[in-house]
Structure 1
Amino acid sequence: MRASAFVYSWDVNGDPAAAERIAGLGVRGATLAAAYHSTRALTPRHPRHRVVTAEYAAVLYPPGDRWQGRTLRPRPAGDWAPGDAYGEAARALAAAGLEVHTWVVLAHNSRLGAEHPGTSVVNAYGDRYPWAPCIAQPATRAYLVDLAAEAAVRPGARGTELESLGWYGLAHLHAHDKTAGVGLGDAGQYLMSLCFCPACRAGYDGQGLDADALADAVRTALEPVWRGAPSGDGWPAVEKLLGAREAAGTRAWRDERARTLQEEAVAAVRAAAPEGFRVLLHADPVSYHCGANAGVDPAHVLSVADGVVVPCTGGAGLLAPFAEQGRADAVLAANLTIVSGMGGHPAGLAADAARARDLGASELRLYHAGLASDADLAATRAALARV
């Protein structure tokens, strides 16, 4: 199974040993961040620093001329990844024999929401989610499509992996997150992630739903949940809380907006890319789910992209709906965490990879070569030698 490790430019730049160390794990590729959200990251082996604070969502290369005069545009990174940090790291990784693919985070951008509040998802209570751009808004969609094309197709890249190409909602892991006091469950998370910005209100109207009445229905449905009643999991639980007609209307609107955005973004990347460039999406096979692994329809997404990257730490069950499509040409990459402190189990990587392969995985993604401890990397190296 072909394996690739996720990497940040600040893991590589300034550390002459980094690229060879990553290649020495036994991976064939590096999935290198080209556009990334704000984060705080350890760099446990870097000769110059131990903690990198990326203060806002940014591109890790100089943005191009296409953004001149546009209101919505990507921001270049600050001193945590200055200049063409992506390009510098990509060249070092390629020189170590690794095939470099870009890693592009799209609809997850707190800086965009802070500077342009009108772009954000607005819940039924009127609260804005600045980390979550509303993908129904035309200007936001145009920004995301152009960002996908530019950030994905960097010099020398052989492919891309597009993260957050769909709806983001309440669940986010925001800075100093304190939202776990009430167990919202799957259905509650969906209701708290419904957007009521002007574009979405018009979209609900097109589905025969009055937006004001719908927002009131959401708030009413959530009242017992705030008091401790379980919301339930799965789509039937959403229908029970909100009503079957209302639930179906919201999902129809949101699914259509996500599907068409995925189509447009992948088409834009293909138009900008050389022949043979692979386009994968980080994906969840349940279309109403929100987050970095965007909810998709498996049959649809595999007809649009070359494949998917699927979260498999703790179990590879999410692979099955994609494997069931019978697309022998599709890449099904199992994403496994190798950082013990983040819930990974690198010592069990060989067994996890075997289970993922049995469920249809054709490749592995390892999260994350820069964040892992020396012990985790040693375990990963030994496991990959057995895969």
Structure 2
Amino acid sequence: MRTSAFVYPWDVNGDPDAPARIAGLGVRQVTLASAYHSTRALTPRHPRHRVVTAEHAAVLYPPGDRWAGRVPRPHSAGDWAPGDAHGEASAALASAGLEVHTWVVLAHNSRLGAEHPGTSVVNAYGDRYPWAPCVAQPATRAYLVDLAAEAAVRPGAAGTELESLGWYGLAHLHAHDKTGGVPLGDAAQYLMSLCFCPVCRTGYAEAGQDADALAARVRAALEPVWCGGAPGDTGPAGDWGAVEKLLGAEPAAATRAWRDATARSLQEAAVAAVRAAAPEGFQVLLHADPVPYHCGANAGVDPAHILSVADGVVVPCAGGPGLLAPFARVATPAHVVAANLTVVSGMGGSPATLAADASRARDLGATELRLYHAGLASDADLAAVREALAVL
């Protein structure tokens, strides 16, 4: 199976041994971050540092002239990825025989929310989520589409993987996150992720719902959760009936109609913009979840729709390979269905079982593998990865 490892530019730049080390794992490809959110990352083998703090969401290359005078616009990185950090790392990795694809994080940007509060998702209580841009807002959509095209099509890249291309919501590992005190089930997470910014309120109205009444229904549905009752979920993850039971079938359907159409049109526009900027044969994949109303880095999508738009998907498999099957059922031989497996044992991954996990993923329809993450993993983790890939 074709396999790609995720990498940050700061894993490579300044470490002359990194490209050969990554190629030595047995991967043919790397997925190299070109636009990324704020993070704190370990670099366990780098000769100059051990911890990199990316203080804000940034492009890891010099942003182009298209952003002159525009608001919002992407920010350059600080000293964690100066200059054309992506280009430098890409060239080094290519010199080791690795095919480079870009890794582009889109609707996940705390700095955007801090500098432009009006761009953020607003929940039914009026709380803003500064990490989560509302993808219904025209200026935000224009920003995301242009960012997708620019950050995806970097010199030397053969393809891209677009992350967070859809709705973001409550579930976000924010700095010193303290939101786990009351457990929220799948349906309650959806209700807490509904946006009530002015644009979304208009959207609900067009779907036949009074926004004030809808927000009140959301708050009423969640009240038992805050009082220590059930976690706001009467069925398994992905059971839309649980949302309908909490909110009511008609209001729930209205929220889905607005949000699904908004996300789909953004995905279509972003992929089209990437293809317009890219050379022939450039591959476009989305990080995706087959439950359309899910929010987050792996955008909730309708499998048939997204595979009519993109060349394939990267599917989270940290909790098992079950999310692959809905994509595999509608994929053609031309599509990529990549299983994303965590190989960092300190982050809950299991590199020791990679061969078996990959085999199960293949049985459920995976055509490729993604390994998260070559820069974060320990030497022991990487040794296990090399051993597993040698027999796959």
Match of 2:66 in 1: 66
Q: How far off its partner does 1:278 sit?
A: 0.1
Instruction: State the SS of the aligned residue for 1:15.
Output: coil
Partner Cα distance (2:317, 2:358) in 1: 9
Match of 2:324 among 296, 316, 319: 319
Match of 1:297 in 2: 302
Match of 2:351 in 1: 346
Partner Cα distance (2:199, 2:254) in 1: 15
Match of 1:224 in 2: 224
- Deviation string for 1:150-209 (max 9, x for gaps)? 000000000000000000000000000000011110011000000000000000000000
Q: Does 1:124 align with 2:124?
A: yes
1:197-212 to 2 correspondence within 5 Å? 197-212=197-212
- Deviation string for 1:266-288 (max 9, x for gaps)? 00000000000000000000000
1:1-387 to 2 correspondence within 5 Å? 1-230=1-230, 231-232=232-233, 233=235, 234-387=239-392
- Deviation string for 1:123-175 (max 9, x for gaps)? 00000000000000000000000000000000000000000000000000000
The aligned amino acid for 1:128 is R
Which structure 2 residue ranges, 5 or more long, are not aligned? none
TM-score (norm 2): 0.98
Q: Is contact 2:307-2:331 (8 Å) kept?
A: no
Q: Percent identity?
A: 82
- Deviation string for 1:185-237 (max 9, x for gaps)? 00110000000000000000000000000000000110001112221142111
Partner Cα distance (2:361, 2:339) in 1: 7
Q: How far off its partner does 1:314 sit?
A: 2.9
Q: Is contact 2:7-2:30 (8 Å) kept?
A: yes
Instruction: State the SS of the aligned residue for 1:100.
Output: strand
Partner Cα distance (1:206, 1:313) in 2: 38
Which structure 1 residue ranges, 5 or more long, are not aligned? none
Q: Cα RMSD (Å) of the superposition? A: 0.5
- Deviation string for 1:334-364 (max 9, x for gaps)? 0000000111000100000000001000000
Instruction: State the SS of the aligned residue for 1:108.
Output: coil
The aligned amino acid for 1:309 is V
Q: Is contact 2:164-2:296 (8 Å) kept?
A: yes
Partner Cα distance (1:51, 1:323) in 2: 38
Partner Cα distance (2:109, 2:331) in 1: 35
Greater CA drift, 77-86 or 223-232: 223-232
Q: Is contact 2:285-2:312 (8 Å) kept?
A: yes
Partner Cα distance (2:90, 2:364) in 1: 32
Q: How far off its partner does 1:326 sit?
A: 4.0
How many equivalent residue pairs?
Answer: 387
- Deviation string for 1:72-115 (max 9, x for gaps)? 10000000000000000000000000000000000000000000
Q: How far off its partner does 1:327 sit?
A: 1.5
Q: Is contact 2:134-2:140 (8 Å) kept?
A: yes
- Deviation string for 1:253-307 (max 9, x for gaps)? 0000000000000000000000000000000000000000000000000000000
Partner Cα distance (2:300, 2:71) in 1: 28
Instruction: State the SS of the aligned residue for 2:6.
Output: strand
